[in-house]
Amino acid sequence: MSIRTPLCDLFDIEHPVLLAPMARVSGGALAAAVSRAGGLGLIGGGYGSADWLEHEFEAAGDARVGVGFITWSLARQSYLLDLTLERAPVALMLSFGDFQPFLPRIRGGKTKFIVQVQTLDQAREAVDAGVDAIVAQGTEAGGHGGARATLPFVPAVVDIAKEIPVIAAGGIADGRGLAAALALGASGVLCGTGFFASDESLASDNAKQTAVSGSGDDTERSSIFDIARGLNWPPDWNNRAMRNSFTQQWSEDIEGLRQNLAEEQVRFEAAWTADDTDIAAVIVGEAADLIRAIEPAQATLHRMISQAEGRLRRIRRIVEPNSKG
């Protein structure tokens, strides 16, 4: 048994699993590791510079990878899009903002265009624009996101998308999540948190260890890390990360943080540099429950696939009790 969906054909990949383009985490080495393991790795172009992006493309070597950008941020650095398209990545993913101005430059080439959505209206817009695939992201996700939960949101987007493959994201980090996403009608999954603690991830060892020893209970959505990092995120999206002493101090007092911003930014930057995760952000989602070790991305991906196959076989036996498959 192997799991093949239309997503495998769309990207010419073996397994319907994508690495999320996590800013400052999904570099070329991690993207390449996921692609070489049979999925598709997306480099997190997030807040990167041209030099950073070139470096990460080099780190990916000859692996077939894609790239993802934060749309509102890309609007300020649109030369990054030209630089990316020159490399003809397998896929380009845009999230968080108006993708329409970029469409003419993306269309017509070999690069497949993916849009990540957090509301049904955004899904309808992506369908009307004729995108190649839609990521339906639930609020369980690590990093930025919206308010909808993955379980009802994915099938609702599947109904809107019709023939366009839908990729489920948010809270999926093992084979049980993959099997569930397929049962909801998704064509595959996009995982961030599940690969955060990979050997190849750009997260610090301390951040990886904090994520491994933490759980989904320890995460919350808020804007305070964006404020502390001086990132002017639009109010439609906030950021899921692990609670720490910084969130305990400011989550309920955003005005206080703004009033003390100058000192707090210095303190936050210093903690980031010193890798002090009691103040700096460890950006993972509810799927932190399922990350148990720092390990090669290939091990995570292959375990996910064999576990999903096992689950789907068991489900088949529930429906057809005499089936041996």
Ligand X SMILES: Cc1cc2nc3c(=O)[nH]c(=O)nc-3n(C[C@H](O)[C@H](O)[C@H](O)COP(=O)(O)O)c2cc1C
| Chain positions contacting ligand X, by CB under 6 A | 20-23, 25, 44, 46, 68, 70, 95, 116, 137, 140-143, 169-172, 190-194, 196, 283-285, 287
Residues in the chain: 325
Closest separation in Å from C-beta 12 to ligand X: 22
Please identify, using beta-carbon distances, which residue of 131 and 253 lies nearer to ligand X.
131
Please identify, using beta-carbon distances, which residue of 37 and 141 lies nearer to ligand X.
141
Please identify, using beta-carbon distances, which residue of 113 and 196 lies nearer to ligand X.
196
How far apart, in whole angstroms, are the C-alpha atoms of residue 129 and residue 263? 45
Please identify, using beta-carbon distances, which residue of 260 and 307 lies nearer to ligand X.
307
Closest separation in Å from C-beta 322 to ligand X: 37
- 237: Cβ–Cβ under 8 A, 6 or more apart, which residues? 96, 118, 144, 145, 146
Closest separation in Å from C-beta 22 to ligand X: 3
The neighbour count for residue 51, using CB atoms within 10 Å, is 8
The neighbour count for residue 1, using CB atoms within 10 Å, is 11
Write down the residue that tokens 């009307």 correspond to.
128
Write down the residue that tokens 């491994």 correspond to.
212
Residue nearest to ligand X (CB): 192
Please identify, using beta-carbon distances, which residue of 8 and 287 lies nearer to ligand X.
287
Q: In what order do the strands lie in the sheet with 143-145?
A: 143-145, 238-242, 219-222
How far apart, in whole angstroms, are the C-alpha atoms of residue 175 and residue 99? 31
CB 32 within 8 A of CB 89: no
